[in-house]
Each structure stands twice: as structure tokens, then as C-alpha cells.
Amino acid sequence: MIQLGEHGAVLLQAQDVCKTYHLGETSVQALQHVDLEVREGEFLALAGSSGSGKTTLLNLFGCLDRPTSGRILVAGTDVAKLDPDALAEFRAATIGFIFQTFNLFPVLSARENVEYPMLLNKTPAPEREKRAKEALERVGLARFLDHRPDQLSGGQRQRVAIARALVKRPKIIFADEPTANLDKKTAVEVLTLMRDLNSSEKVTFVFSTHDSMILSLASRIFHMSDGRQVAAPETPHAH
């Protein structure tokens, strides 16, 4: 499974990262001294049961949150050094997201949803439309360009979301439990699509899951439990 040799330069680095959430009096240590390097071209899975810290780590890598201590480097940039606007710009240029709940804009058609990220970096309209169409064709939705999210199935919606993440040609795409809301068959299809894109478009993927079947598609697995890396799953995953 671990195929480091095939991959390129280091893209993501977590160095001794801790993240503590405070809830009134109590505090939760969501991440404890996590070290992780991800190289260009990887198709990395974060595995672990619910509450193990997968989402927290993805959020830190995705520049959506800041670590309590330790350093996060994304494409050589120390995330802590960027202000909110610069972070937004950095995300717009470098990072794609796929969400468990798809998070498409309900009032926009599939094509418009895919166009949206290009609106942020001021791509001219004709090019936006062309690239959105191509991206949707790439994920197998050529016939659904003008459908609204509520006219699409879960698997189709996640494909639109994948096209939306892909269309701006990011260095890396983060996917937090991308298949948790899909049935088994669709889940495998969606993940296979991501895997295809990983090799054909040379995009790095980091995704989280607690589904062992999905894990088998990863190029590498980072096992987590209680906010730490663990060597291997203590118990087989139930789902």
C-alpha cells in the first residue's frame, strides 16, 4: 500500500500539531502531537473511528482552522503567517474541498456550481463555462449540466462537488468523509472516480473515512485514534 517512492515533493506537513477545543470549563484534545507528511500525487486516507480527529486534521491542512501548537505547512507556506484574506486567497488558488454533505449551492445548476470557484479568481465567463462543462464531462455528468442539486442523486451531487473541487486545478483536494452519505455501490464509484482523477489529473487527495472497504482504495492510510497516529487499527472497522 505505501508507495512513497512513486510520489513527488512534500506538499503537506504537520509538525507536532496539537489542537485543543474549549467547551466552557472542559477542553477536548482533538489532536495530540501529530506529525504527518503528504507528498504530491498521494491518495492518502485518514482512518479512524468517529471522534478520532480526522476532521480536525483535515481542517488544519485545509487552512480552515489554526493549530493550538505546532506547525502546518501547505505547499511550503506556513499557514500561521497568513491573515484571513490571504488564507481565503490561498484556499481559492491551491485547495479544493469535497464535503460529506456535498454542500452544493441549491439555487445553482450543476454547471453554475462548478463555475463558482472560478468566479473567485475572476476567470472570464466564457472560459468558466467551458471549463465547468469539461469538468462535469470528466466526472460523467455531461447530461446533467443544467440540473439543480435537488434534481440529482447523492452520487451525482458528490460528482458535481468533485468537479467543483477539480475545476480550478488545485494542488490538493481534501475530502472529509466523502462517501458517508452514499450507499456502498455509489461510494465505491465515487472513490474510484477520485482515484482516477488522482492519477490522470495529478491531483493529490487526502480524504477521511471510517469505512474499511473505501480504505482499500487508498495509496496510503494514516490511522488515528484519540487525536494521535496509531500504528494499525486495533479493531477492524465495523462499517
Ligand X SMILES: Nc1ncnc2c1ncn2[C@@H]1O[C@H](COP(=O)(O)OP(=O)(O)O)[C@@H](O)[C@H]1O
The residue ranges that bind Mg ion (CB under 5 A) are 55
Q: Which is nearer to Mg ion, 56 or 123 (CB)?
A: 56
Picked from Mg ion, other proteins, ligand X, none, the partner binding residue 51 (CB below 5 to 8 A depending on kind) is: ligand X
Locus of grid cell 489542537: 19
DSSP summary character for residue 81: G
Check residue 68 for interaction with other proteins (CB under 8 A). no
- Residue among 41, 53, 62, 170 that touches ligand X (CB under 6 A): 53
Residue 102: what are its φ and ψ, rounded to 5°?
Answer: 70, -45
Check residue 115 for interaction with other proteins (CB under 8 A). yes
Q: Which is nearer to other proteins, 42 or 115 (CB)?
A: 115
Residue 10: what are its φ and ψ, rounded to 5°?
Answer: -70, 130
Check residue 179 for interaction with ligand X (CB under 6 A). no
Picked from ligand X, Mg ion, other proteins, none, the partner binding residue 62 (CB below 5 to 8 A depending on kind) is: other proteins
Measured between alpha carbons, how far is 219 from 226 in angstroms, rounded to an integer?
A: 23
Which residues in the 139-168 window bind other proteins by CB under 8 A? Answer: 164
Bin 202: left if φ > 0, else alpha if -120 < ψ < 50, else beta.
left
Residue 4: what are its φ and ψ, rounded to 5°?
Answer: -55, -35
- From 53-61, 72-80, 144-152, 153-161, give the range in contact with ligand X by CB under 6 A: 53-61
Check residue 80 for interaction with other proteins (CB under 8 A). no
- Residue among 51, 140, 154, 233 that touches ligand X (CB under 6 A): 51
- From 32-40, 115-123, 190-198, 224-232, give the range in contact with other proteins by CB under 8 A: 115-123
- Residue among 32, 100, 186, 212 that touches other proteins (CB under 8 A): 100
Q: Which is nearer to Mg ion, 190 or 224 (CB)?
A: 224
Residue 157 near residue 102, CB atoms below 8 Å:
yes
Among residues 75, 71, 90, which one has the least CA distance to residue 10? 75
Check residue 52 for interaction with ligand X (CB under 6 A). yes
Picked from other proteins, ligand X, Mg ion, none, the partner binding residue 125 (CB below 5 to 8 A depending on kind) is: other proteins
* Grid cell listed for 22: 474549549
CA torsion angle 177 180 181 184 (round to 10): 130
Picked from Mg ion, other proteins, ligand X, none, the partner binding residue 75 (CB below 5 to 8 A depending on kind) is: none
Bin 15: left if φ > 0, else alpha if -120 < ψ < 50, else beta.
beta
> Residue 162 in 3-state DSSP?
helix
Check residue 48 for interaction with ligand X (CB under 6 A). yes
Measured between alpha carbons, how far is 188 from 151 in angstroms, rounded to an integer?
A: 22
Interacting residue ranges for ligand X, rule: CB under 6 A = 21, 23, 28, 30, 48, 50-56
